[in-house]
């Protein structure tokens, strides 16, 4: 009897679908199938590797950002479907999942997660750049140096026989950590924000180093000077655009700071001058910050900003020689809930709420909610609240000083040489191993001389890289022995 009842329901549901809609879904799926059948593996060695890390960009964040992007286009008069719209990196041919847990905790922190992605091993919560023998705040063990781990950044540079000191491009915020505490910040005219008490002006040291090795260089701290930088006559670029974190993209303004797309393009232009290739890491860090404060709109907007940077990277590199990986270091306690109608504002209140689906107290709720955080955790009268405002904080279940990370798996999107190696469920440290294998750096290089791979550039043992970059959209502030 139950089986018969479900059969009736399914038949009724099918009858509600119009012929045109049915054909549309069939045709789209057939086209997607045809594209999948024609997909060919790229087994070349990767001359270049670009890793995009959406900090805190879990699956629910990607889904909500996709819908938000579609609705943004719709408000601008363009014909985009808020559900069928895709982010640029969602169009990559290969997708896998990574398990983000720490060596000692079910849910990771950013520093330890970044170490897994960049160095190939899982480590303990609250540590960075050291192995799992070091616990959080264990500074004495860390200072020995024996526990340090190598990253793909250093290994890529080693293949090019360059100093570990010479990063090609460094762009982002965090100027206060480069200047002495008695120096005046050029933007704020204040000395109160600077943090260095060790007598070192790292900006001047950077300039002196580049002058000593006889290379052209530029240091910039405002957008107008950044825009003036020409890749053709710049070997090294340092840009620090804020004493602390750079602005959320939705708050940025067109003239105050360069966008993540601007910085990505400039970095690639400078690094591409090297015939051996490059390694580039691009972080969309403020996705994470917005989630911690329950600012969903800011988080989604920063996902789209990073996705635009991915498109820039796709446009200015060749897929045949450049491995692009887009992933996250962890997720957040962030959910898409209810059964809102197609087209209902992703930032709005659930619009379909029959009696058997309504909250017990008869109230309403937003589609986007957080499990915890600093926002209001009591019921709200949404007739008096604009849930689409950039400063609106979505309701939480548990009030806390800040929202926590989430522990579910996050996606890995890849295209380019050997991107098909991201094909299932992996450990987070697996990402490093694929990037290193694809670009012939690190220990696993036996395959690099096999006929299936094209010869390495300039008759070297490696296709990657003499020029590398660390690229922060916000200064990476989570360090060993720091509080969180």
Which long-range contacts (C-beta less than 8 Å, at least 24 apart) are formed by 140-145? Answer: 142/480, 142/481
Catalytic hit among 7, 60, 110, 466: 110
Q: Identify the residue whose tokens are 């024609």.
A: 38
Task: Look at 227-231, 412-416, 474-478 and tell me which has the smallest mean pLDDT.
Answer: 474-478
Interacting residues of 160 by C-beta distance below 8 A, sequence separation 6+: 274, 276, 462, 465, 466, 467
Which residues are 284's β-sheet partners? 54
Question: Taking residues 258-277, what's their average pLDDT?
Answer: 96
Q: Identify the residue whose tokens are 């299932």.
A: 424
Helix (H, G, I), strand (E, B) or coil at 398: strand
Residue 305 phi, psi dihedral angles, 5° rounding: -60, -40
Q: Tell me what percent of the residues of the chain surpass a pLDDT of 70.
A: 86
Question: Taking residues 15-24, what's their average pLDDT?
Answer: 66
The string of pLDDT tens digits covering residues 333-379 is 999 999 999 999 999 999 999 988 889 888 899 999 999 999 988 88
* Confidence at residue 10, expressed as pLDDT on a 0 to 100 scale: 36
CA pair distance 140, 432, nearest whole angstrom: 28
Instruction: Count the neighbouring beta carbons within 10 Å of the beta carbon of residue 112.
Output: 30
Residue 466 contacts residue 155 (beta carbons within 8 Å): no
Q: Identify the residue whose tokens are 């399914």.
A: 10
Can you point out the beta strands (E) in 416-466? 425-427
Question: Taking residues 142-155, what's their average pLDDT?
Answer: 87
Interacting residues of 404 by C-beta distance below 8 A, sequence separation 6+: 107, 332, 333, 371, 372, 373
Residue 477 phi, psi dihedral angles, 5° rounding: -100, -10
Residue 438 contacts residue 323 (beta carbons within 8 Å): yes
* Confidence at residue 141, expressed as pLDDT on a 0 to 100 scale: 79
CA pair distance 193, 243, nearest whole angstrom: 7
Residue 173 contacts residue 242 (beta carbons within 8 Å): yes
Which residues are 236's β-sheet partners? 217
Task: Extract the tokens encoding 77.
Answer: 């008069």
Active site residue 483: no
* Confidence at residue 79, expressed as pLDDT on a 0 to 100 scale: 53
CA pair distance 280, 468, nearest whole angstrom: 6
* Confidence at residue 478, expressed as pLDDT on a 0 to 100 scale: 29
Residue in 383, 375, 380, 354 with CA at minimum distance from that of residue 365? 380
Residue 173 contacts residue 252 (beta carbons within 8 Å): no
Question: Please, what is the average pLDDT of the chain?
Answer: 87
CA atoms within 13 A on the CB side of 166: 23
Whole-prediction pTM = 0.89
Percentages helix, strand, coil for the chain, rounded to the nearest 5? 35, 15, 50
CA pair distance 417, 48, nearest whole angstrom: 9
* Confidence at residue 380, expressed as pLDDT on a 0 to 100 scale: 86
* Confidence at residue 83, expressed as pLDDT on a 0 to 100 scale: 63
Question: Taking residues 50-61, what's their average pLDDT?
Answer: 98
CA pair distance 365, 336, nearest whole angstrom: 11
Task: Look at 113-127, 336-350, 374-388, 442-456 and tell me which has the smallest mean pLDDT.
Answer: 442-456
Residue 14 CA to its chain's centroid (Å): 40
């Amino acid at each position: 009897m139950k089986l018969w009842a479900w059969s009736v329901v399914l038949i009724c549901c099918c009858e509600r679908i119009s012929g045109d809609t049915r054909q549309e879904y069939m045709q789209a799926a057939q086209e997607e199938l045809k594209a999948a059948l024609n997909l060919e593996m790229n087994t070349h060695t990767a001359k270049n590797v670009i890793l995009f890390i959406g900090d805190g960009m879990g699956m629910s964040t990607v889904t909500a950002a996709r819908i938000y992007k579609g609705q943004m286009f719709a408000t601008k008069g363009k014909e985009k479907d808020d559900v069928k719209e895709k982010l640029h990196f969602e169009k990559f041919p290969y997708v896998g999942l990574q398990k983000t847990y720490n060596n000692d905790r079910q849910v990771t922190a950013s520093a330890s997660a970044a170490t897994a992605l960049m160095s190939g091993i899982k480590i303990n919560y609250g540590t960075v750049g050291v192995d799992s023998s070091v616990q959080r705040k264990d500074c004495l063990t860390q200072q020995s140096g024996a526990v340090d781990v190598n990253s793909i950044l250093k290994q890529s540079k080693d293949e090019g026989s360059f100093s570990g000191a010479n990063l090609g491009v460094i762009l982002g915020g965090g100027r206060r950590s480069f200047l002495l505490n008695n120096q005046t910040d050029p933007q704020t005219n204040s000395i109160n924000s600077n943090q260095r008490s060790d007598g070192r002006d790292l900006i001047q040291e950077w300039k002196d180093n580049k002058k000593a090795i006889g290379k052209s260089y530029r240091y910039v701290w405002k957008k107008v000077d950044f825009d003036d930088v020409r890749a053709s006559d710049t070997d090294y670029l340092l840009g620090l655009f804020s004493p602390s974190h750079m602005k959320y993209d939705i708050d940025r303004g067109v003239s105050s700071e360069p966008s993540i797309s601007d910085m990505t393009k400039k970095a690639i232009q400078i690094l591409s001058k090297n015939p051996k290739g490059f390694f580039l890491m691009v972080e969309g860090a403020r996705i994470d910050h917005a989630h911690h404060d329950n600012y969903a709109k800011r988080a989604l907007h920063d996902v789209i900003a990073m996705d635009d940077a991915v498109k820039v990277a796709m446009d200015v590199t060749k897929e045949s020689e450049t491995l692009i990986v887009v992933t996250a270091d962890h997720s957040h306690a962030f959910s898409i809930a209810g059964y809102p109608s197609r087209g209902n504002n992703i930032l709005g209140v659930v619009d379909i709420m029959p009696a058997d689906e309504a909250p017990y107290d008869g109230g309403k709720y937003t589609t986007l909610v957080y499990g915890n955080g600093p926002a209001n955790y009591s019921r709200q009268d949404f007739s008096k609240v604009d849930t689409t405002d950039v400063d609106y904080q979505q309701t939480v279940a548990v009030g806390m000083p800040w929202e926590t990370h989430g522990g579910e798996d996050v996606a890995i999107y890849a295209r380019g040489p050997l991107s098909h190696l991201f094909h299932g469920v992996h450990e987070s440290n697996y990402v490093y191993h694929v990037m290193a294998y694809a670009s012939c750096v690190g220990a696993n290089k036996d395959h690099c001389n096999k006929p299936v791979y094209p010869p390495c550039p300039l008759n070297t043992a490696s296709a990657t890289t003499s020029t590398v970059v660390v690229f922060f959209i916000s200064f990476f502030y989570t360090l060993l022995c720091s509080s969180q």
